[in-house]
Amino acid sequence: MRTLQAGYFPATPPEWFYAVMTLHGLGMVGVWFVAGLAAMSFLLTKYVRPSLTVSWIALGMTAVGVLLLVAATLVGKLGVGWYFLYPLPFFSEGTWPDWATAALFIALGVLGVAWTLWSGDVLRAIAGRYRLREALGWHYLSGRSDPEVPPIIIIATVSCIGVLAGLVAAVVILLLIGWEVLGGGAANDALLIKNLTFYFGHMLVNITMYFGVALVYEIMPAYTGRPWKTNTLVVLSWNTVLALVMFAYLHHLYMDFAQPRWLQVLGQLSSYLVSVPAAVVTIFSTLVLTYRSQTRWSLAPTLLYLGVMGWAIGGVAAMIDSTISVNQLFHNTLWVPAHFHTYYLMGVVLMTLGAVYHLAVTLTAEVENLKRSRIMAAHLVVGGYGLMLSFYLAGADSVPRRFAAYPAELTSGPMLAGISLVFILVLFGGLGLYLWDTGRLCARALRA
């Protein structure tokens, strides 16, 4: 996508860009959601017992959903973007066939059912040991710490309740659109569908980050030698997140002037407030956990630490954009991919890679080659932040997002896209080394 935006291969039809962008967006959001929930479920087995059967069903259904999405985008050239704006999927003007639109909705249905089952099962497993008020840590607020509840249980409970709430919105969307298309009902209200779509998308993305943070809470103490226990602050912050994360999505609709004004104000307030408890408490605790500790900075703690910092940097960029007066300038510019790539790629992805490396090293008891690990981490940081900077600078210069090729006036668009290619190669170098090293360890662990 950056190659085309840089102006190379101008003969490529733009529909290819939009089809690839749709697959990339849906694929990435899905992959890191699934990876985060899988890693968190695995770590949860220390305390509770999620069902292996449900995990396998979720994995199988996810594979079916992915195949449908690949077919819809790469074969059908469906190019609606990862959050499709209704009624765009039904107005292809011949660019993609009807079956591709059907495949998109069937895929979303299959994935929605799979992930509902999976998150519901995690909640069931937690309920097998803790009552809901205990799993949310409410007894800490009245000064009791019995039963002791590890932070990963509280974060998993908050996150899985959030997932279920988001997926309910997805079901409502599918029912409304299904009724219109198959049942011959009247056309749906586009603003209602947009609210539901962003509610679902925003929840899914936010919760994925919380999965990543749960991994940090559980694994980081093994390296710093300091325990990370639940206390009143942790309970208060994650319960506040549960209450506020439902409303932050409203910042995606600032430019929808038919939206009631009080909802816009609520969007700005909750966007500001939701970031304080989870992010500030986690970032501050990570610093306290590592400051003057005897941490041996091998790859796993380095990636977990960098992930928390990426979350912080992307979070600040997100808060800037969720300010209504700024959003009037930054809406749908490359600032948007800039901020979400920062807390995704440099946040949750690094956290998840760190967690997987931790498991691979633990299972094989391999002595880590620290020099190789540092080279890997340096590539990820330099390549990743170079790519991020190309997005931020373009966004600040009003280059719009989701453009296959930029008009001649936007000279900084192709220039920054071209420079970013160098950083993407550096990033891929680090990722390639990581995949080779971790793959080798995982293969050995599986054989054993």
C-beta closer to ligand HEM: residue 25 or 277: 25
Q: How far is the CB of 210 from ligand HEM (least distance, A)?
A: 14
Please tell me whether residue 1 binds ligand HEM under the rule CB under 6 A.
Answer: yes
Please tell me whether residue 29 binds ligand HEM under the rule CB under 6 A.
Answer: yes
Stretch that binds ligand HEM, among 116-124, 272-280, 340-348, 368-376 (CB under 6 A): 340-348
Query: ∠ CA(359), CA(360), CA(361), 5° rounding?
Result: 95
Q: CA–CA separation, 55 vs 53, rounded Å?
A: 5
Please tell me whether residue 194 binds ligand HEM under the rule CB under 6 A.
Answer: no
C-beta closer to ligand HEM: residue 32 or 199: 32
What is the footprint of ligand HEM within residues 30-69 (CB under 6 A)? 32
**Would you state the structure tokens that stand for residue 29, as one six-digit string?**
């959001």
Please tell me whether residue 337 binds ligand HEM under the rule CB under 6 A.
Answer: yes
C-beta closer to ligand HEM: residue 3 or 362: 3
Stretch that binds ligand HEM, among 48-56, 109-117, 131-139, 399-407 (CB under 6 A): 399-407
Q: CA–CA separation, 366 vs 406, rounded Å?
A: 49
Please tell me whether residue 376 binds ligand HEM under the rule CB under 6 A.
Answer: no
* DSSP structure string for 211-280: HHHHHHHHHHHHHHS------HHHHHHHHHHHHHTTTGGGGGGTT-TTS-HHHHHHHHHHHHHHHIIIII
Q: Which of 181, 276, 424, 442 binds ligand HEM (CB under 6 A)?
A: 424
**Would you state the structure tokens that stand for residue 178, as one six-digit string?**
């299904």
Stretch that binds ligand HEM, among 40-48, 53-61, 299-307, 339-347 (CB under 6 A): 339-347
> Residue type at 328?
Q
Q: Which of 15, 70, 81, 181 binds ligand HEM (CB under 6 A)?
A: 81
Q: Which of 82, 99, 138, 272 binds ligand HEM (CB under 6 A)?
A: 82
Question: Using CB under 6 A as the criterion, what x/- string covers residues 4-23 for binding ligand HEM?
Answer: -----------------xx-
Q: How far is the CB of 423 from ligand HEM (least distance, A)?
A: 9
Q: Which helix (H) or strand (E) holds 189?
A: none
- For residue 234, the Cα-to-chain-centroid distance in whole angstroms is 22
C-beta closer to ligand HEM: residue 157 or 352: 352
Stretch that binds ligand HEM, among 35-43, 178-186, 220-228, 336-344 (CB under 6 A): 336-344
Using CB under 6 A, count the residues that bind ligand HEM. 22
Compute how many other C-beta atoms are within 10 angstroms of the C-beta atom of residue 375: 14
Q: Which of 228, 238, 344, 392 binds ligand HEM (CB under 6 A)?
A: 344
How far CA 26 is from CA of 17, 33, 97, 104, 163, in Å, comes to 14, 11, 19, 10, 16
Query: ∠ CA(260), CA(265), CA(266), 5° rounding?
Result: 95
Q: CA–CA separation, 203 vs 117, rounded Å?
A: 17
- For residue 147, the Cα-to-chain-centroid distance in whole angstroms is 31
C-beta closer to ligand HEM: residue 305 or 335: 335
**183 DSSP assignment:** S
> Residue type at 326?
V
291 and 225 Cβ atoms separated by less than 8 Å = no
- For residue 332, the Cα-to-chain-centroid distance in whole angstroms is 19
Shortest Cβ contact with ligand HEM: which residue? 25
Please tell me whether residue 401 binds ligand HEM under the rule CB under 6 A.
Answer: yes
Is cis: bond before 147, omega within 30 of 0?
A: yes
Q: What is the CA radius of gyration of the chain?
A: 22
Q: CA–CA separation, 24 vs 82, rounded Å?
A: 8
C-beta closer to ligand HEM: residue 65 or 150: 65
| Stated length of the chain | 448
Q: CA–CA separation, 102 vs 69, rounded Å?
A: 10
Q: How far is the CB of 395 from ligand HEM (least distance, A)?
A: 10
C-beta closer to ligand HEM: residue 203 or 235: 203
Q: How far is the CB of 443 from ligand HEM (least distance, A)?
A: 24
Please tell me whether residue 210 binds ligand HEM under the rule CB under 6 A.
Answer: no
Q: How far is the CB of 135 from ligand HEM (least distance, A)?
A: 28
Q: CA–CA separation, 165 vs 204, rounded Å?
A: 10
Please tell me whether residue 358 binds ligand HEM under the rule CB under 6 A.
Answer: no
C-beta closer to ligand HEM: residue 21 or 153: 21
Residues that bind ligand HEM in the complex, under the rule CB under 6 A = 1-2, 21-22, 24-25, 28-29, 32, 81-82, 337, 341, 344-345, 349, 387, 401-403, 424, 427
